[in-house]
Amino acid sequence: MESLKVRRKSLIWISGLTCNGNSHSFLSSSSLSFDAFLNSVNILFHPALTYDREFKDIYKDILEGKLKLDFLIVEGAVSKKKTKVYFQGFDIYEILENLKNIAEYIIAVGNCASFGNFPALYSEDVVGLNFRFNQRNGFFEGDFTTKSGMPIINISGCPAHPEWIIKTVLSLSYGYDLKLGSLQRPKDFYMYLTHDGCTRNQYFEWKVEAEEFGTKEGCLFYYLGCRGPLTHSSCNKILWNDKSSKTRAGMPCIGCTEFDFPLRGKYFETKLNIGIPEEVPLGVSKRAYIMLSGVAKTFTNHRLKGKLEEAD
Ligand code: SF4
């Protein structure tokens, strides 16, 4: 019987202006996911993984049509001008121009490639692939689509969770219909808020607030600036290292998956106006927030008042 041979999808990973945090995150994925990824995807080039080959050779073969390119992954912000940002000796401007009609999919990994992030604060020319913050004036402007008909796919986060990267690529490899939100992020990972699945939800509801980092008790919203109720991510549904998340460990969410992450400036504090947070959870009116908080504060949930380890 003739064996059914399925071509593994091919991928190259290039980097612009970046701290390489997304590569670190990607390389920390669980071994099961990573094995599944390696079995399904042929990584033609990644700056840390493919030490046995040169980018220039792979790039040349792709341009000459000797190698097919399914996924072009970009980590880091890029420049709209030539001769500003280089990767492996090549102007990244030219790499993107040359590969934009060759790659089936182009995926921006991390906030710098998605929205420009911190590097974009220093120059108008520094951008994400399709966006500069929330404006569609990135390297590729407007409604740009790749060969597959898909727009640039943004996997935002500083860094992005390895499972979001792996599952996006695998979903597309196996023909799954990937739904994207208005900022072109896969809905499977960004339709939730960090608040969803946080182990501190009862504290939030009963208005029992933590005043210091690293405790198991209390919600981190009021005093410590947690952005969980305002940030799209599945950090508390797909846990980091399969175990935890910032908020579970007592560290407030800093909203790093959102386009305005570096624009907000101050972290770890909630701006208050006469004791009322200036920003309330998404989807809730200020009036509703004040009324519900007032009611919650009128009552006491005795279980949540003390240390969890001492509660029965
Ligand atoms: S710590 Fe943050 S994410 Fe968790 S319940 Fe409080 S506000 Fe929501």
pLDDT in tens, 204-245: 999 999 999 999 999 999 999 999 999 999 999 999 999 999
For a pocket test of ligand 1, which of 192, 193, 196, 201 has the largest count of ligand atoms closer than 8 A to its C-beta? 201
Least Cα distance to 43 among 63, 64, 23 occurs for 23
pLDDT over 60 at 3, yes or no? no
In angstroms, the CA 128 to CA 106 distance is 12
Q: According to the model, what pLDDT value does residue 196 have?
A: 97
pLDDT in tens, 51-105: 899 999 999 999 999 999 999 999 999 999 999 999 999 999 999 999 999 999 9
The answer to whether 204 and 219 have CB atoms below 8 angstroms apart is: yes
Helix axes 55-63, 92-99, angle to 10 degrees: 30
Ligand 1 touching residue 221 (CB < 6 A)? yes
* Closest CA to ligand 1's atom 8: 195
In angstroms, the CA 112 to CA 85 distance is 13
The answer to whether 256 and 158 have CB atoms below 8 angstroms apart is: yes
Which token pair is 33?
A: 């996911």
Query: Region 5-17: what's the mean pLDDT?
Result: 90
Q: If you average pLDDT over every residue of the chain, what do you get? A: 95
> Measured from the CA of 195, which atom of ligand 1 is nearest?
3
- Cα 121 to averaged position of ligand 1 atoms, centre (Å): 28
Q: Could you tell me the fold of the domain covering 192-312?
A: Cytochrome-c3 Hydrogenase; Chain A, domain 2 (4.10.480)
pLDDT in tens, 98-136: 999 999 999 999 999 999 999 999 999 999 999 999 999
pLDDT in tens, 24-41: 999 999 888 899 999 999
- Cα 199 to averaged position of ligand 1 atoms, centre (Å): 8
- Cα 226 to averaged position of ligand 1 atoms, centre (Å): 6
What are the CA-CA distances from residue 310 to residues 39, 115, 210, 219, 302 (Å)?
A: 47, 45, 17, 18, 12
Return the HEC string of 192-225: CECCCCCCCHHHHHHCCECCCCCCCCCECCCCCC
- Domain positions in the chain are 9-187, 192-312
Residue 262 φ/ψ region, left for φ over 0, alpha for ψ in the -120 to 50 degree band, beta for the rest: alpha
Q: According to the model, what pLDDT value does residue 1 have?
A: 46
How far from the centroid of its chain's Cα atoms is residue 18's Cα?
A: 14
Q: How confident is the model at residue 266 (pLDDT cuts 50, 70, 90)?
A: confident
The answer to whether 134 and 257 have CB atoms below 8 angstroms apart is: no
Ligand 1 touching residue 201 (CB < 6 A)? yes
The CATH superfamily of 9-187 is: NADH:ubiquinone oxidoreductase-like, 20kDa subunit (3.40.50.700)
What are the CA-CA distances from residue 169 to residues 8, 10, 106 (Å)?
A: 12, 10, 10
Q: According to the model, what pLDDT value does residue 2 have?
A: 47
Which token pair is 93?
A: 């401007």
Least Cα distance to 216 among 304, 312, 293, 300 occurs for 304
Helix axes 31-40, 162-173, angle to 10 degrees: 30
- Cα 217 to averaged position of ligand 1 atoms, centre (Å): 11
- Cα 235 to averaged position of ligand 1 atoms, centre (Å): 12
Tell me which H or E stretch contains 45.
strand 41-45
